[in-house]
Structure 1
Amino acid sequence: MTGAVLHGLTAVVLRTGDDDPPVTIPRAPAREAAERELSDPAYQENAPSLLQRALNRFWEWVDDLFTAASGATPGGGLGLFVIIIAVLALIAALWWRLGTPHRAPSSSPALFDDRPRTAAEHRAAAEAHAAQGHWNQAVQERMRAMVRSLEERALLDPRPGRTADEAAAEASQTLPTHATELQAAAQSFDAVTYGARTATEPTYNRLTTLDKALTQTRPTLTNTPQGPPN
């Protein structure tokens, strides 16, 4: 620019030549002239965009925040860095241990949620998942195989909407020697299906062993009182 805009002066004094008297412009016309000059698009070509200005303000705020935090933290910036790493490590450990947070269901959903399948079909699906290391699905299918097998043997009445816990409790009445294992199997099913837990190979192996044991166990029938002799 060939001249300077002086803000706050009552007038702008311009000199037209060495021998000419100075020209005094009142403040209001001078301000309007300056605004017209600065509104020229040539001055806006290199100005940052609105997004860039917002980003600049954000990073300035982040820098001020970390500067203030490091000043209040023992050890300064290094101490703040160590604390941040420790917090992130704690969050990662909790995430790995507890899994993705899920809202607990108000009641346990049904054990079977698709078309009816035989116990053999559920066992085949369980073995296929186990072969690929998909232990959650393998545990689910093995539990369904056990319950379906008990229904096929008439040890459980086929009932839509039955939960794993209900099936275990009902089966324990006719197979009391396996009551503890049945409850543990139902808990494993609920943990991986509704509790966001991750099953392991030993968990699947325990259900497989129980499934085989149930097929070889004779049910305990309720004794029917005998009538008086004739």
Structure 2
Amino acid sequence: MIFPGLFSEPVTRDQARDLARDELEKPIYHRERPSFLDKMIDQIREWFDKLTPDGVKRPGGGGGDFTLLILVVLFVLLAVAVVWWMRGRGNTKAAGAALLDDVPSSATDHRSAAAAFAAEGRFAEAIRERLRAIARDLEERAILDPRPGRTARELAHETLRAMPVDLSEGVGVFDDVWYGDRPGTPEGYALLVALDEEVRAARPRPLERVP
């Protein structure tokens, strides 16, 4: 095989293949080839078409703009759901906010306030006051040392060390309501009431003897 004017010697099969490949890789031959983004959009459009019920018309005749809009909306909803879920237990405010303030109070005061809030349907406040009642009760019984800066999570940790009562679930409800922007519920309040009663009935763990 000879290319006139280019080679004075015959071109081998391998040389011809390389020349053809180099020629076809020039941009002029690829102007009509779809880009990677175009291929992705086509695949997403096909996926969305399969999910769309028959007979449902889409704006613009089913173009890529509508599909892209749907994907953006779904992504935003997913991001909002993730942020809403992560707020609460993972919130840094929940880890550092004190449960009790410096105002003198008793466990009975907090229980009365919790019952009043619950009667009004204000279960977020009722949950907070019932957890405060637990903290005050433990301090009044000298099971925990009085400490105004104690957080709800610290309360759960120290209580579990002092007696066989796990407050972590109740603290989780408290964090979700006050730091995760979730509504208080009768079920959440009932959980705190049950934990309060369990704490009042439990006996402290015996002190470890020092050898």
TM-score range (shorter-chain normalised) is 0.5 to 0.7
Name the residue aligned to 2:197: 212
1:193 aligns with one of 160, 175, 178: 178
Determine the C-alpha separation between the residues in 2 that align with 1:201 and 1:140.
13
Determine the C-alpha separation between the residues in 1 that align with 2:81 and 2:119.
24
Name the residue aligned to 2:130: 142
Deviations 1:177-209 (A, max 9, x none): x1xx31112222222112222222111101101
1:222 aligns with 2:207: yes
Q: Could you say if the C-alpha distance between residues 91 and 124 of structure 1 is closer, same or farther in structure 2, counting changes exceeding 3 Å?
A: farther
Letter of the structure 2 residue corresponding to residue 213 of structure 1: E
Deviations 1:102-159 (A, max 9, x none): 7943642111135121111111111111111111111111100001100000000001
Structure 1 portions without partners, runs of 5+: 1-73
1:105 aligns with one of 75, 80, 92: 92
Name the residue aligned to 2:59: 76
- Aligned pairs, number: 152
Determine the C-alpha separation between the residues in 2 that align with 1:104 and 1:206.
22
> Normalising by the residue count of structure 2, what TM-score does the alignment of the two structures yield?
0.58
Contact 1:100 1:196 in 2 (8 A): no
Contact 1:109 1:163 in 2 (8 A): yes
Letter of the structure 1 residue corresponding to residue 168 of structure 2: Q
> Residue 111 of structure 1: SS of its match in structure 2?
coil
Determine the C-alpha separation between the residues in 2 that align with 1:85 and 1:132.
42
Determine the C-alpha separation between the residues in 1 that align with 2:195 and 2:74.
39
RMSD over equivalenced CA pairs, Å: 3.4
> Normalising by the residue count of structure 1, what TM-score does the alignment of the two structures yield?
0.54
Letter of the structure 2 residue corresponding to residue 105 of structure 1: T
Name the residue aligned to 1:169: 157
Percent of pairs identical after alignment?
A: 38
2:145 aligns with one of 157, 160, 163: 157
> Residue 128 of structure 2: SS of its match in structure 1?
helix
Contact 2:107 2:134 in 1 (8 A): yes
Deviations 1:160-183 (A, max 9, x none): 21101111111111212x1xx311
Letter of the structure 1 residue corresponding to residue 142 of structure 2: A
Determine the C-alpha separation between the residues in 2 that align with 1:101 and 1:173.
28
> Residue 196 of structure 1: SS of its match in structure 2?
coil
Determine the C-alpha separation between the residues in 2 that align with 1:119 and 1:208.
13
Q: Could you say if the C-alpha distance between residues 207 and 84 of structure 1 is closer, same or farther in structure 2, counting changes exceeding 3 Å?
A: same
Deviations 1:45-71 (A, max 9, x none): xxxxxxxxxxxxxxxxxxxxxxxxxxx
Determine the C-alpha separation between the residues in 1 that align with 2:178 and 2:111.
18
Q: Could you say if the C-alpha distance between residues 225 and 199 of structure 1 is closer, same or farther in structure 2, counting changes exceeding 3 Å?
A: same
Contact 2:102 2:148 in 1 (8 A): no
Q: Could you say if the C-alpha distance between residues 132 and 183 of structure 1 is closer, same or farther in structure 2, counting changes exceeding 3 Å?
A: same
